[in-house]
Amino acid sequence: LFYFIIAMLNIILQVQMLLKPFQISEIKFQNVVSLCYYCPCPDFPYTQCHTSNVTRSFFLVAVNLPVTDFLIVYKHVFLNLGDSYNMQTGIFTAPRSGVYSFAVTIFSVVTSGKMATSANLQVNGQAMATLLEQNGNDTEDSATVVVALQLKAGDEVAVNLLKRYSICDNNSHFNTFTGFLLYATD
């Protein structure tokens, strides 16, 4: 949990740096960021929305089974505010137009030989960012990417594991996919 909190704080700092040119009001941004601090709370108000009136969108999901060569379906859902992440397909559908922040981490272990792991963060099937780890000097490999993307309502975001690569996990949730609405543009 400690490492998760540190990772989320790092993402928040990176997002704050990305937002400086946009002159977003600190109050509005703090409302979005506060979701990260309070998401473990079991009594967080939950509403299911699929209209353009959605004011918040946040999800954090993880893999806990081996995955190879397809869209990664993250079955462990930590939080899914706005219900925009589909646990059956592994796809996040933007509930409204705006700028979103996404972070993906992939992890793989091999007992012998050199190993690499690679995946794409995709919007509507098009690769927007690639994660690649091919150290080969050890048996554990991971890669992380954090991006801010302009999306339209209905755009679909997913993580695709590239051919010849695999990821693995246990209940430690080394493979994660998270995203949230920074601000709406509609």
Phi-psi region of 62 (alpha: psi -120 to 50; beta: other; left: phi over 0): beta
- pLDDT, position 142: 83
- pLDDT, position 133: 80
- pLDDT, position 162: 84
How do residues 142-163 score in pLDDT, each as one tens digit? 889 999 999 999 999 999 988 7
Paired sense of beta strands 156-161 and 91-93, if any: antiparallel
**Is the CB of residue 72 less than 8 Å from the CB of residue 160?**
yes
List CB contacts of 38: < 8 A, sequence separation 6 or more. Answer: 44
**Is the CB of residue 101 less than 8 Å from the CB of residue 180?**
yes
pTM beyond 0.85: the answer is no
List CB contacts of 131: < 8 A, sequence separation 6 or more. Answer: 104, 105, 106, 117, 118, 119, 120, 121, 143, 144, 145
Phi-psi region of 169 (alpha: psi -120 to 50; beta: other; left: phi over 0): beta
List CB contacts of 173: < 8 A, sequence separation 6 or more. Answer: 4, 62, 63, 64, 76
Residue 9 within a domain: no
- pLDDT, position 52: 35
Residue 139 within a domain: yes
- pLDDT, position 146: 94
Looking from the CA of 96 toward its CB, the CA atoms found within 13 Å total 19
- pLDDT, position 185: 94
* Nearest of 98, 122, 126, 121 to residue 19 by alpha carbon: 98
Tell me, what CATH number does 79's domain have? 2.60.120.40
- pLDDT, position 17: 56
List CB contacts of 13: < 8 A, sequence separation 6 or more. Answer: none
The dihedral sign for the CA sequence 143, 144, 150, 154: positive
Mark the ranges of the chain whose per-residue pLDDT is less than 50: 19-54, 64, 66-69
Residue 53 within a domain: no
Range of the domain at 162: 28-42+64-184
Residue 140 within a domain: yes
Residue 78 within a domain: yes
Residue 12 within a domain: no
Domain count, the chain: 1
Residue 147 within a domain: yes
Residues 157-183 as b or e (16 or more Cβ within 10 Å = b):
bbbbbbeebbbbbeeebbbbbbbbbbe
- pLDDT, position 117: 79
